Structure formats: C-alpha cells, structure tokens
Amino acid sequence: MQKIVPFRKASLKSTPATAVFRFVFLLLCLSLLLYSAPASADKIKVVATIAPLADFARQVGGDKVEVTLLLPPGASPHTYEPTPKVVRELSQASLFLKIGSGLEFWADRLLKAAPANIRTVDSSAGVDLIKGLPHDHDHSHEKQDPQSNTDPHIWLDPLICTQIITKIETALSRIDPSGALYYKKNAAVYQEKLRELDKEISGRTKLFRTREYVTFHSAWNYFSRRYGLKVAAVIEESPGKEPAPRHVKKIIEILKSLNTRVIFAEPQFSPKIAETIAGEAGAKVLFLDPEGGQKGRETYIEMMKYNLAVMEKALK
C-alpha cells in the first residue's frame, strides 16, 4: 500500500526567490492602485450656480478643474433654495462662480458656510447692466442686493460672456499660477468661439421679419440689446407670481398688434399661463431655454444655437 505523505506547512517556507517575487508583486499592486486612483484630489474644485457658468469653467479649466453645478437642469435660480448637499460641496471648493446682479439672492447666505479663502467670481462686476426693470428680484427674507433693480441675465449676450471668461481665467491663474498659460490658452480659444457665435447670431437675426416678441419672464433683454430686437412684453413681471388680470389683458393686446403672434415660454417655468394667454390672443407658444444644461443643449454654444433656431422659426 502506497504511503500517503501529509502536506507539510514547512513546504510554504519562503525562499529568497519567493520573497523577492512577493515584494515585486506588492509593489505592482501598489502602483496599480495609485495609477487607478482618481486624480480629482489634485484638481481645482469649482462650484458654479448655473449651467452656462459651469460650462465656462470647464472650457477654461479643462482637465485641471472639477466643476460642480448647483442648480439642477430645469430649475430656476429665481426660486432655488440651497440644500445641505450644496453646502457640503461649497465647503470643499476653491472657486465659486455666480452671475450676481441679484440673480442668486441666496448666495451670500450660502457663502457663509464656505472656506474663508474661497475665491468668488461675480460675473456682473464691471458689466454695462440694464437698469430700471419692470420688476425686480425681490426676496423679503434676504438682505437686499444693491443691484436688485438690474437685469442679471447677462450671459445671453455672447460678447459679455467673453468678459466672464477673462474673469474665470484670472481666478484660476491666481489659484494655480503654474497653470496660468494653460488657462490663458483655453480662454483665448473659447473666446474666439464666442465671437464666432456672435457673428452667426447677428447675421441670422438681421433677417428676422418681426423684431418684437413676448417672453415669459425678463430674460432676453441683453440678447435683444445686442441684436437689435425688442421684448414687447413680459408675462411674469415678478418671479414666481402670476400676472394680474389687467396685465394679462395688456399682453393680449400687444400680441394682437404684432406681425407674428408668439409667446416664448421657458422650460424652467410652467407654461399654463402662457398657453392661456396664447389661446386668447390667437398666438402660439414656443420654448426658449435661457439656462441650458439639458439634452441637446448641454453646452452654452449648443444652448444659444437652439434658442436662435427657435427664434428663427417664429420671427423670420
């Protein structure tokens, strides 16, 4: 009968060769872990209030930034309320991008929870703001912004956006001086794209047969100023408040006097009142998107080209 030799633990004793093999194997595992670990820890954390600003940060910062968007696509900054998750995001950020001019009425409260050394870019600073709006962004529970009677929708003018890009470039370069040339190059490339967009919009809007239109809320004044158009009336004079019957009657009269009867609603707001007014005036409702971030218009340039196509459909 064959004798069975038991397996001995001694057979697992390391030899010099196996010790070297194990050491090399451990080094390989460690290197793979380090290689596959996310590099986000080295990136500049940027928090942007609206989708266009988030896109601008990515265009300038490239692979050196990690951008968080505060407002979900389809949300309105006029009615937005920050969540605890947003506060946590901001507490880890190095750069905060806002439009200013009273749009983010909640920003000052939010910044109190931010790091003391966080940099803030106020996109409206130094811009030729449109004043004396038919409404303001009044929020009685907040400290009044000195610019609350100005129109904050500056990003709908592509040439104003070239100024915002410069501000973002400057801020990133101060946070990361070693990447200054990288940010400068990215900014210059994107600013040229914005100038090309401006030329395209200018050329196509010149062919519009109708140059006046009715909008849901007062978002398109800068766009209209740049391209020689006019917002004839605004349905919602104050964000979140339904128009008074007398105001509705006035809008219906204005719509009937225009060559093209159209109301430009927005995906951030319910279209019910716009549809009701359109029914009374024999007008149609089309949707412009002033904020983007949604499918087909994720980037700023995609958003603006979408809006231009919608306007052409109605006004050309």
**pLDDT attached to residue 15:** 55
β-pair type (262-265, 212-215): parallel
Is residue 155 exposed (0-12), middle (13-18) or buried (19+ Cβ within 10 Å)?
buried
Return d(Cα 311, Cα 204) in angstroms, integer: 10
Residues of the chain with pLDDT under 50: 1-14, 20-21, 23-39, 134-146
Return d(Cα 259, Cα 193) in angstroms, integer: 33
**pLDDT attached to residue 25:** 43
Closest CA to 139 of 107, 113, 114, 96: 107
- Residue 69 pairs in a beta bridge with 48
Query: What phi and psi, each to the nearest 5 degrees, are found at residue 204?
Result: -80, -35
**pLDDT attached to residue 211:** 93
Return d(Cα 12, Cα 170) in angstroms, integer: 62
**pLDDT attached to residue 307:** 97
**pLDDT attached to residue 212:** 93
Tell me the pLDDT tens digit for each residue of 113-131.
787 889 999 999 999 999 9
Residue 268 token pair: 């951030």
Domains with residue ranges and CATH for the chain: 40-200 (3.40.50.1980), 203-315 (3.40.50.1980)
Closest CA to 99 of 138, 148, 35: 148
**pLDDT attached to residue 4:** 45
Query: What phi and psi, each to the nearest 5 degrees, are found at residue 307?
Result: -65, -40
**pLDDT attached to residue 74:** 63
